[in-house]
Structure 1
Amino acid sequence: MYAITGATGQLGRLVIDVLLKTNPADRIVAAVRKPTKASDLAERGVIVREADYNRPETLAPAFTGVDKLLLISSTEVSGRLPQHRAAIKAAQRAGVSLIAYTSMLHADTSPATLAVEHRQTEEAIAASGLPAAILRNGWYTENHLLALPAALEHGAFAGAAKDGRLSSAARQDYAEAAAVVLTTDGQAGTTYELAADQAFTLAELAAEVSRQSGKAIAYNDLAQAAYQDVLAGAGLPDDLAALLADADAAAARGALFDDGGALGRLIGRPTTSMQSLVAAALRG
């Protein structure tokens, strides 16, 4: 039996969709904070169980009978390590035979502040003794494209990544990779650096949006502090704005680049191109 935490999130739902193509629904557990938000999954036959990181007593029951667990990192940045530790302990108590964790690209060496909790979670998994597979996901290209409406309105993307190359891939690619790891034997002890086949700079992203939209779109590279102010001005919480601006600055130093090709090999096809994701985003 497979369990997916955060199963009502964007990545979690995609992983379940992939698993359902080759596995019976009653072999898949959607571990979610609010089961009412997973009613559509229940209607498809998926087992829905409450699993609230902030209520650790719900976690071990949610993982009962689970063989392989995909621990999707919590969205509560700067506070997710205790949540992850609670899930790891619950997996131990439930007798899970493999835990797969969605970490961050090059988490062990990345200068990005966002990598710290991922690195600490990897260490907690190692200390637990649970057989594990570490999925170090690069950035999602969709994250860059969240700024597309504003870019089209104002004629520019903003960032602080300079000419750093970003090996960002589609969320679907990462979902397929996670499903492959869950359903393939011999994954214990593996660490995957998962990134797109082709990297791009934010200036190249802006140029592609210009080409496809027919509008002049520039890339305005800012100092880290200035970009943080832009993000905060757009409504992001101050701590999240600081972390994202820091990640851009780290990308300028190569933190979000990888050319190892592990993601494409794992999913058995070329990764989704930035150009096709731009086209999809422009279509809405």
Structure 2
Amino acid sequence: MADPQAGDPGLFGPDSVTWQVHSDPMMWIAGVRALYLQALHPRAVRGVTQNSDFRNDAWGRLFRTATFVGTTTYGTTEAAEEAGARVRKIHSKLGATDPDTGERYGVDEPELLLWVHCAEIDSYLHVGRRSGIPLTDAQADRYIAEHRVSARLVGLDPDAVPASQAQLDAYFEKVRPELAVAEETRAVDDFLLRPPAHPLLIPAREVLWRRVAHLAYAALPPYAHELYGRPAPEPSTVTRRLRATGTLLRCIPARLRWQLPPKHILRAMARLGPGSRPAPYKL
């Protein structure tokens, strides 16, 4: 019997900008930038730190996020919808408390979900383009618009989500007065600079991970550097480092990179055929 999902392109499909961009190894650095940016919203970051043992399960949280992005990008329609349903169910049960006012609120408030979504999409797009992925402005707008789909999966109204660079920029301008460095922000910052590691892996953390964290931090917008109170190199220097890192990582054969579990891209190619192989140059 034929597999009914054999030809299912999923929610985005091989012709989307998302399909090509998310295959790039710089998305890992973009993900760390997103964490730095997301932590600047006090209500949003409290929703994370008050509902999880962040420092002891931070790696698990990072990989669960990566798995969600991989599933929604390269998985079948059914798998993507199921992943979204799981996230919505979990969020519906969680709340956080403002330590200053005592207010209790749900982590699935639309404004909080929108902040997390926009910080993530902006980071993927920003780091991707700045590191050398050749996206035109029209393709960048298309990428942002495509992610109204992923916004729907986490419980947002797609019509209320930015669908272009101009709309995304306007959103960040509007939300900036709400951003601040809370105690929880410092906890995330400390984790990203010094994540827990086995004693034998601490030297590797100091040599490799700190470079990733510093580069992701440097790629933040200037207002984020001001809030964190830590300077960053000149933008031109950051761009050179992003391009150099992107060039280096892209030298690793894609097939080798994609062997890492859970192999979303390889499974998608097996489902749709070799012509579905993602690569930013196809744009």
Query: Same fold per TM (> 0.5)?
Result: no
Higher helix share: 2
TM-score norm. by structure 2 comes to: 0.27
Higher relative contact order (CA 8 A, sep 6+): 2
Normalized per residue, the structure richer in strand is: 1
